[in-house]
Structure 1
């Protein structure tokens, strides 16, 4: 293997607590971009990988989906849970979502749900999403003058949208939220079910068992929702396996609301901490499209994905061998000084904004249009009704190495 200076700054990428400390995280990532943009990281319990921190390199790797594939290591996971999940997949009992697939199979699986997230479908959903936005802003008004914006508002709104799309009963929404927190929050003491690999697998099994029941129901009696489309989806004329069906549900239900929650809450924090930008947006709602993209860039809910090289190659002068894993540091790419003017300034009018938060290439986020619409809808409802707003305590970020954002955002406000 080509030698590269082992940079201590790169170890923050394997430390979940670093993502709960913006100053520490961004200082390390800035150092890597400047001094060691392709850094070798060997920090157990994670298997070694190359940390890719420059925007251009991340884009190039994601777009070359033959040279760099998702399997067998799509996200950073400690070696113990990684081995258990791989063994379960090999036995046909483990979850395998779109983010773990490549090639023709990925394209065919993605197509099953794609129509539900196209712009035309989003237009049909606008009235329903706007109604839910009013419902949650009304709730915010009613529970004021203080609330925890994350737990009281930002969690519930996208959760209701995506689970309504799936056709799940409202009585099951709390369970879906709890399982999602446990799945994405395995590194955070406030969210994790337990500390061992077996606990992680148990969460997956609970998800899969719930959706196995849903699959059987929708196959027996389709109801015209996205759950029915997934349950009755076919590839090359054959129905999806029960495992692939359940895995599809998990991706839509969990990723479809948790990442949007992070962007919504991270966006509000940025507006509060940048009152001139809050005023600018409130006075000119035509800036909402660029403001939404800036909230997504600023919060970067998905911190990373990983790829594996299928052949020897070179990235920024560094030899990458066949079988090596590369870590795509979206948080770093979204603050790359070569791409973004004053990247540490929150700018609701930023244009262009080539952020990486939805990924690139064939794995571009399936639900990007829905997430944009949800964020826009909530803030179009909230800002004209907002009289005043300020922090009522210290914001708290979740510890993570994959998906995450604010756990708590205490605010004091007045709404009409």
Structure 2
């Protein structure tokens, strides 16, 4: 144990949550989280360059905090970043050029902004999109066959399939897909040496954001002048209380849909593929019983948990599992830990394609439940439904690599050897 500047005792196990490299080491991360769930489920963390926070590692506590969105607010600290990055984000917003996505907002503004894109992810819209997603799934499984017998499943397949789906939904040209992928990597992978732009400084991170805004500002002007019946047009022409969305909110809406809309699904797809390779009995079980695909997809999402955390700030003094939390203090919702909680999941470290119930928190909970959850499920279902009957054999062809991150991430490389019809 160590003591922070305010006299609170810090649990060394909790320090991994403020260490991006821990998320690239499953064994180290889960050992620490298992320790915290058992002995210190609401743990104080004071680990510069991050500002202090309370680490919440039990599923029930995460759910309770997500449920009480009037007490626990997204603003001003919706995710874990360094104090310098927090300060820069605040300054940029005050200057009218920062990022303020749905994850940054609280009700009632959050509810109004969310509504602008919500219809595009409802069941009716998903049914209309199903044929296109199935076509793309076949295209990418065919690509996998054609480039075999080896590939990097992440960079060759898992990245492009969901990127193509979300860009098509937005109505963006295929010529821009590569640029969008690179910008997303740089934004979410800023802690990983492979993805950092130049030196990965705050100025470099700001440059990534400005690139996004420049691209989407042009898109907004185009769609306002000539709407084209796509999601980009809906966002560009969205209104709140009869007034157009602000420039910041419009650009931010595009950013969260375009980036999170494909990167998180990429992580779930590649994490699911690795889980099937590591658990050949479960792969065979799924091959023999395709009716298990819906539960298998949920298990892949639980297993990979692409969004590692969100944060909330207490609006008033409160307690969580008997621990006093003062107004203004932040809590870190450790979704990775919640999805391995022994009190919720039988044998949580066993990958089970038939797991039911599966009350994972990978999509969040409550008012901030992931807007694109249905789309992610459909994409994964389509891809694996197309792939598994055609997959005659598959094994690792090298060492899988996870990205260093404290927010969104998963496998960045998954070299595999396979036989595919």
TM over 0.5: yes
**Cα deviations across residues 315-346 of structure 1 (Å, max 9, x unaligned)?**
01100000000000000000000000000000
**2:292 aligned partner:** 287
Which residue in 2 is equivalent to 1:27? 31
Establish whether residue 173 from structure 1 lines up as the match of residue 177 from structure 2. yes
Decide whether the 8 Å contact of 1:2 with 1:319 is kept in 2: no
- Separation in structure 2 between the aligned mates of residue 335 and residue 355 of structure 1, nearest angstrom: 9
Note the C-alpha offset of 1:195: 2.4
Unaligned runs of 5+ in 2: none
1:384 matched to 2:365? The reply is no
The Cα shift of 1:201 comes to 1.0
Q: Which residue of 1 aligns with 2:238?
A: 233
Q: Deviations over 1:266-304 (max 9, x none)?
A: 000000000000000011110000000000000000000
The CA RMSD measured in Å over matched residues stands at: 1.0
**Structure 1 Cα separation of the partners of residues 202 and 27 of structure 2:** 30
**1:81 counterpart residue number:** 85
Moved over 4 A (4+): 1-4
Q: 1:363 aligns with which of 360, 368, 390?
A: 368
Match of 2:60 in 1: 56
Query: 1:3 Cα shift?
Result: 6.9
Name the TM-score, length of structure 2 as normaliser.
0.98
Q: Deviations over 1:8-58 (max 9, x none)?
A: 010000111100000000000000001110000000000000000000000
How far the C-alpha of 1:119 sits from its partner, in A, is 1.1
In 1, Cα distance between the equivalents of 2:9 and 2:99? 36
Q: Distance in 1 between matches of 2:108 and 2:323?
A: 30
State whether structure 2 residue 336 is matched by structure 1 residue 317.
Answer: no
Cα distance between partner residues in 1 of 2:273 and 2:97:
40
CA–CA distance in 2 between the matches of 1:389 and 1:238?
54
Q: Structure 2 residue aligned with 1:258, among 244, 263, 283?
A: 263
Corresponding residue for residue 307 of structure 1:
312
Moved more, 296-305 or 241-250: 241-250
SS at match of 1:246: helix
Q: Where does residue 65 of structure 1 map in the other structure?
A: 69
After superposition, the Cα gap between the structure-2 partners of 1:4 and 1:38, relative to the gap in structure 1 and judged at 3 Å, is farther
Say if 2:99 is the partner of 1:91. Answer: no
CA contact (8 A) 1:2 1:318 kept: no
Count of aligned residue pairs for this structure pair:
416
Gaps of 5+ in 1: none
1:147 and 1:44 map into 2 onto residues whose CA distance is 39
- Shift in Å, 1:81: 1.2
Measure how far apart 1:6 and its partner are: 1.0
> Is residue 120 of structure 2 the alignment partner of residue 116 of structure 1?
yes
For residues 381-408 of structure 1, the C-alpha deviation after alignment (integer angstroms, 9 at most, x for no partner) is: 0001111110000100000000000000
Match of 2:19 among 5, 15, 20: 15
Structure 1, residues 69-88: CA drift from partner, whole Å, max 9, x if none?
00000000001111001111
Structure 1 length-normalised TM: 0.99
Deviation of 1:4 after TM superposition, in Å, equals 5.2
Distance (whole Å) between structure 2 residues aligned to residue 333 and residue 4 of structure 1? 24
Which residue number corresponds to residue 395 of structure 1? 400
Aligned to 1:126, which of 123, 130, 140? 130
Q: How does 1:182-197 map to 2 (within 5 A)?
A: 182-193=186-197, 194-197=199-202
Cα drift, residue 91 of structure 1: 2.1
Q: CA deviation at 1:2?
A: 9.8
- Whether 1:329 aligns to 2:334 is yes
